[in-house]
A and B are shown apart, each in its own frame.
Chain A
Amino acid sequence: MIDIKFNKRLLVVWLVLSALTLAYLWIDHSVDGGGSLRGSAVVTSSVIVIASIKVRIIFREFMEVRQAPVLLCRLTDAWVVLIAVSLLACYFVGVALR
């Protein structure tokens, strides 16, 4: 039964994505130690990287890019990198111009 095997894989993917989402709770909790609000480039960078990983997993597994022609794989990977780099660049340029 080929479809049951696929569905199990999808479930695992969903669990991984959910775990990554819950990791945000932990990140958020750990940074709030002092009780005061502080900006943190480390948190921002790691959050953006985790979000990019999640997007890539959605591309690969849910959107079935895994089985798609190589061109689409490369294209979506390039897009994920592009998103992450642009977001980090915008953030750090903003920090530098503060």
Chain B
Amino acid sequence: MTELTDKNKRTRFVPGQPDMWAFVLFETLVFTAYFGFYLFYRAKSPELFLHGQAQLDLRIGVLNTLVLLLSSWSVARCVQSARVGAYRAALRDGYLTAFLGLAFMVSKVLEWARQIRMGNGFGSSDFFTYYFFLTGIHFVHLVIGFVVLGVLVYQLRSAARRSQELVETCATYWHTVDFLWVLIFALLYVVR
């Protein structure tokens, strides 16, 4: 739709549909509220939360974050390749993003399984309630992200479609999943 204007003009433009940005900002507010409740109750009874947090493995969290940042990087490359018409490279980056997203998902499920085996369920302590709630709702966003990546790949595959606007919209969603994880990671694993 906007390929021509993108190529010709070096002026400022909103990446993707502005509508998606409305979603990003609104959903970020909702998450900020979740985080706010978490931090408030955490600060009120720090020992309880510290005790739960000590059972998380920070290294897994760091690895998760690096994988998801890498997927964000590859989808950003995908957008730039699509913009200059390098659709083959863009498609490859799209698949790479999905693969990295899948890797994140698998490691998340393994981490959950490990915690449950250690006896830390959804209801077993306040910290783990928040842990499973925040990672779970993020997981739901990630699952939706795969639908979004599906749209992105579908757009890139056929010359008849290839709407740069939609590609950017999808990428914006994926980055949102990424930066929400950056916040969740910091708040669940590192905050004291």
- Any A CB within 8 A of the CB of B138: no
Q: Return the contact of B183 from the options A18, A51, A61 (Cβ within 8 A).
A: A51
> Which residues of chain A are near B84, meaning CB under 8 Å?
2-3
Residues of B near A91 (CB, < 8 A) are 39-40, 42-43, 191
User: Closest chain A residue to B66 by CB distance?
Assistant: A18
Q: Give bound CA distance, A27 to B36, whole Å.
A: 22
Contact indicator per residue, chain B 68-99, by CB within 8 Å of chain A (1) or not (0): 01101101110111001010000000000000
Inter-chain contact A62/B76, CB cutoff 8 Å: yes
Within 8 A of B (CB), among A62-84: 62-65, 67-70, 72, 75-76, 79, 82-83
Contact with A along B26-48 (1 / 0, CB 8 A): 00100010011101111111110
Determine whether the beta carbon of B175 is less than 8 Å from that of A63.
Answer: yes
The answer to whether A61 and B76 touch (CB under 8 A), given A3-B86, A21-B66, is: yes
B44 close to A97 (CB less than 8 A): yes
Shortest CB–CB separation between residue A52 and chain B, in angstroms?
A: 8
A48 CB → nearest B CB, Å: 7
Whether the pair B192, A39 counts as a contact (CB closer than 8 A) is yes
Q: B15 to chain A: which residues have CB within 8 Å?
A: 63-65, 67-68
Q: Report whether B73 and A11 are in contact in the complex, using a CB–CB cutoff of 8 Å.
A: yes
Interface digits, A6-45 against B, CB 8 Å rule (1 contact, 0 not)? Answer: 1100110110011001101101100100000111110110
Give the shortest distance, in Å, between B100 (CB) and chain A (any CB): 12
Nearest B residue (CB) for A95: B43
CA–CA, A63 to B79, complex, Å? 10
B166 → chain A, closest Cβ, in Å?
Answer: 15
Interface residues of B in 48-69 (CB under 8 A from A): 50-51, 54, 58-59, 62, 65-66, 69
Chain B interface residues (CB < 8 Å from chain A):
12-15, 21, 25, 28, 32, 35-37, 39-47, 50-51, 54, 58-59, 62, 65-66, 69-70, 72-73, 75-77, 79-81, 84, 86, 168, 171-172, 175, 178-179, 182-183, 185-187, 189-192
* 18 pairs, A vs B, C-beta closer than 8 Å: A3-B86, A10-B77, A24-B62, A37-B47, A39-B46, A39-B192, A43-B192, A51-B183, A51-B186, A58-B72, A58-B175, A63-B15, A83-B183, A86-B32, A90-B39, A94-B42, A94-B43, A95-B44
A positions within 8 Å CB-CB of B: 2-3, 6-7, 10-11, 13-14, 17-18, 21-22, 24-25, 27-28, 31, 37-41, 43-44, 47-48, 50-51, 54-55, 58-59, 61-65, 67-70, 72, 75-76, 79, 82-83, 86-87, 89-95, 97-98
